[in-house]
């Protein structure tokens, strides 16, 4: 890898002061499960790497008035087993789905949400949008693991975050710190972005900002996440479905169905939620919602198989939440 300056500040103020105003000059190191590989492959060649390992304020899970706060440097293993999150079934299931002991022990919440796409064109140096001579390598090439939703533009990769769909379904928000002590809050649904150029990133973070915490409202919801994987623990899912809803008089209300690994961002399946609201979460209604979940899907030449996987994942996630 290319040589770089390494910094390990102890406070957010010090950390944000070390970050550049433009992407690529500096990178943030959390657990390192993604960044270290990117450095070795020279996908990113920063002048400085800023480690968050010494910042205790970014770790831990705590219940506050009306919400649960998860520090960005909290590990996936802690999320998977913490008692304060026992009501957040969709999130716990998403973390447990990672399954690899190594990733659970080292990977962090912030790292999962901010990791770069796993698209093999991008990982082999063809750029984020994988274009050559003005043409998409993905559309004309091997696209079996690429997007079936939101793929009208040049971005055809899928969002790699395991936690993203569950956090969108649970109406979570993210705390962000910037230079000069400035802070802001971003709704999980607004955090993920679709880049239009190679110089953009896939989140709403600015180059000199740090994701500090995830805030989940404490609400009485039934929720679940169902993933379809080739090999548990070792592979990213083909498809993920996270659902969350409340029940009033045995009827579903305020349902949210969010799909993962099928679009450049976690994909909110509005039609599926609409089909579920006002009904009992029965197998028949779950099947109807599953059919509605694929509304608007536009598979590429090699990934139409994801349509059936979406239906299966949504149905099983709904029934798991109801149970």
- What pLDDT does residue 233 have? 64
Q: Is the dihedral of CA 46, 47, 53, 59 positive or negative?
A: negative
pLDDT digits (tens, 9 = 90+) for 2-23: 999 999 999 999 999 999 999 9
H or E element that contains 272: helix 270-276
pLDDT digits (tens, 9 = 90+) for 236-248: 899 999 999 999 9
- State whether residue 265 is helix, strand or coil: coil
Average pLDDT along the chain: 96
Burial of 101 (0-12, 13-18, 19+ CB in 10 A): exposed
Q: How many CB atoms lie within 10 A of CB 307?
A: 16
Structural domains present in the chain = 56-114+159-322 (3.30.465.10)
- What pLDDT does residue 232 have? 72
| Lateral strand order in the sheet of 173-177 | 61-64, 67-71, 210-217, 173-177, 183-187
Contact by Cβ (8 Å): 151, 306: no
Q: Which of 202, 197, 176, 45 is nearest to 130 (CA)?
A: 197
Contact by Cβ (8 Å): 242, 218: no
pLDDT digits (tens, 9 = 90+) for 65-124: 899 999 999 999 999 999 999 899 999 999 999 988 999 999 999 999 999 999 999 999
The pTM (predicted TM-score) of the whole model is 0.96
What b/e sequence results for 171-196 when a residue is b if at least 16 CB atoms lie within 10 Å of its CB, and e otherwise?
A: bbbbbbbbbeeeeeebebbebbbbbe
* CA–CA dist 33, 159 (Å, integer): 16
What are the tokens at 43? 């996908």
């Amino acid at each position: 890898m290319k040589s770089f300056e390494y910094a390990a500040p102890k406070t957010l103020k010090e950390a944000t002061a070390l970050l550049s105003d433009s992407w690529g000059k500096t990178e943030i190191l959390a657990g390192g499960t993604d960044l270290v590989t990117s450095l070795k492959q020279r996908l990113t060649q920063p002048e400085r790497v800023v480690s968050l390992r010494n910042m205790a304020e970014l770790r831990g899970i705590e219940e506050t008035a009306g919400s649960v706060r998860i520090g960005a440097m909290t590990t996936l293993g802690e999320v998977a087993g913490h008692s304060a999150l026992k009501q957040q079934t969709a999130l716990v299931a998403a973390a447990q789905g990672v399954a690899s002991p190594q990733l659970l022990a080292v990977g962090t919440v912030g790292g999962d949400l901010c990791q770069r796409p796993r698209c093999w064109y991008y990982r082999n140096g063809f750029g984020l949008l994988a274009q050559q001579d003005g043409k998409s390598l993905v559309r004309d090439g091997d696209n079996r693991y690429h997007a079936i939703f939101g793929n009208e533009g040049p971005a055809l990769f899928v969002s790699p975050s395991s936690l993203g769909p569950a956090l969108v379904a649970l109406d979570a928000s993210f705390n962000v710190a910037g230079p000069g002590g400035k802070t802001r809050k971003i709704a999980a649904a607004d955090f993920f972005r679709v880049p239009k150029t190679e110089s953009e990133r896939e989140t709403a973070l600015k180059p000199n900002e740090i994701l500090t915490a995830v805030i989940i409202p404490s609400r009485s919801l039934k929720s679940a996440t169902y993933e379809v994987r080739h090999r548990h623990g070792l592979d990213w899912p083909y498809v993920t479905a996270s659902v969350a809803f409340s029940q009033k008089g045995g009827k579903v209300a305020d349902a949210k169905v969010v799909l993962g690994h099928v679009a450049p961002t976690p994909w909110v399946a509005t039609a599926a939620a609409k089909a579920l609201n006002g009904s009992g979460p029965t197998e028949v209604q779950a099947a109807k919602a599953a059919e509605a979940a694929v509304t608007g899907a536009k598979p590429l030449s090699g990934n139409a198989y994801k349509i059936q996987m979406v239906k299966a994942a949504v149905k099983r996630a709904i029934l798991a939440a109801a149970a």
